Every structure is written in C-alpha cells, then in structure tokens.
Amino acid sequence: MNEGTLQDTSRQQTTRCANVKVHYWDREDFDRQVGPCSRGSIPVPGYGVANFHYPKSTLQAMLELRVRGLDASISGLQALLGDGYNTPTPKSCSKDPLDVVWEKEHIDAVAAWFDELEFWLPQTHLCVSCNLHYGQFARAFLKGLVFFGWNQKAWMEFDVSCLLMVVQPAKTQYGYGRVIFLPKETELVVEMPVA
C-alpha cells in the first residue's frame, strides 16, 4: 500500500437516484462495513460511544448520525420531533414526548434530509470537496491510524493532519475518488509524463 496504489474494494458509487451522490455514510455500506467489525459499539469523536443495536434512544440516534458524517445534535433531533418530521414511536412507559424509539428507517430518513440540507461534519465537507465517499474516507483514516501508530486524540478529534492523505480521482463522473492515509513523513515521488 505504500507504493501509492489504491484498491477499490467497495462499490464505486452510491446513489439516491440515477446521478445524485450521497457523501455521508449510507445505510447499506454502513451496516456492511461497521456492523460486523464494531462488536456492537464504536467511539464517536467528542461524544462517547455509539451502539449498533436497534431500536435506539435519541442520544444513540444522534451518535449514529455523527458516525455516518452528519452534523446531528440532540437539540436538532428534538426539534424535528417537535415539528412532527418522521416522528419515531414514543416509549409507552414515558411521559416525556421526546423519549422515543428510533428505528433504522427513522434514522435513515433524517440522514437523507440532513444530506440534502448539507448538515455535514467538517470531514464530510472535505469528502464532498475531494469527491470521496465518507464511509471509505472514515475506514481509510481509521486503518491509517491503526497501521501507522494509534493516536487516540487524532481519532477523537478526527484530526487528519496527523497522517498524509493521498486521493485518487474517480474513474467516472458518477463514481467516487479513493483515499489512503500514510505516515506523515512519507515522501511521495511524482513522475510527470514527458510531453
């Protein structure tokens, strides 16, 4: 991998409809990539630990949305509930109308809406600028941290400046680019074609 090659191990594009890209971590890729390897939970930079059991509380729904690259907050989700937007089922034993049960379809509806409104985390904005899929970006960053010296602070702050980021452009206008992270001290040699 240090030779600068990027292997395309995930599908080339994720679409909501024919030619519209999503840059957050979509449900299919998220469940396939994170679920089996997470052992039921994953640390969320700056917030704690998200679990991957359903149904979820409002806090856990917010944590999942953040893991998927969306700028979700408890107050934002509570405002959606107050507006009746895709309202999840209230818990029968609670008198608090915000104490609700979030199913996957509720979280996915909010995720799609947040994506349309561009409620993205800063690293998701980076993915949009570089034409990267957020899921591939997050997996590559975590892999880089694990392979080249775990840095808990870098993960918790999602600080990509601790590694060298190399982006390979997409092969088609409908695909995504690919990214790898290498040790910061890596020197890349670029060979320019002779004109």
Residue written as token pair 């998927």: 68
pLDDT for residue 6: 35
Banded pLDDT at 17 (limits 50, 70, 90): very low
Q: What is the 3-state secondary structure (H, E, C) of the chain?
A: CCCCCCCCCCCCCCECCCCCECCCCCHHHHHHHCCCCCCCEEEECCCEEEECCCCECHHHHHHHHHHCCECCCHHHHHHHHHHCCCCCEECCCCCCCCCEEECHHHHHHHHHHHHHCCCECHHHHHHHHHCECHHHHHHHHHHHHHHCCCCHHHHHHCCHHHEEEEEECCCCCCCCEEEEEEECCCCCCCCCCCC
pLDDT for residue 31: 81
Whole-number Å distance between alpha carbons of 138 and 64: 14
Whole-number Å distance between alpha carbons of 159 and 157: 5
Banded pLDDT at 126 (limits 50, 70, 90): very high
Banded pLDDT at 167 (limits 50, 70, 90): very high
Least confident range of 43-47, 63-67, 90-94, 120-124: 90-94
pTM of the model: 0.75
- Tally of CB atoms within 10 A around 102: 24
Q: Which residue has the higher pLDDT, 82 or 171?
A: 171
User: Does residue 38 contact residue 80 with C-beta atoms inside 8 Å?
Assistant: no
Average pLDDT over residues 183-191: 85
User: Does residue 78 contact residue 58 with C-beta atoms inside 8 Å?
Assistant: yes
Task: For the chain, give every domain's residue range.
Answer: 27-183
Average pLDDT over residues 10-23: 51
What is the identity of the amino acid at 161?
Answer: S
Indicate if the pLDDT at residue 191 is higher than 70. Answer: yes
pLDDT for residue 5: 34
Q: Please write the tens of the pLDDT for every residue from 32-84.
A: 777 655 555 666 666 667 777 788 888 889 988 998 999 999 888 888 876 66
Q: Please write the tens of the pLDDT for every residue from 129-157.
A: 999 999 899 888 888 888 887 666 676 67
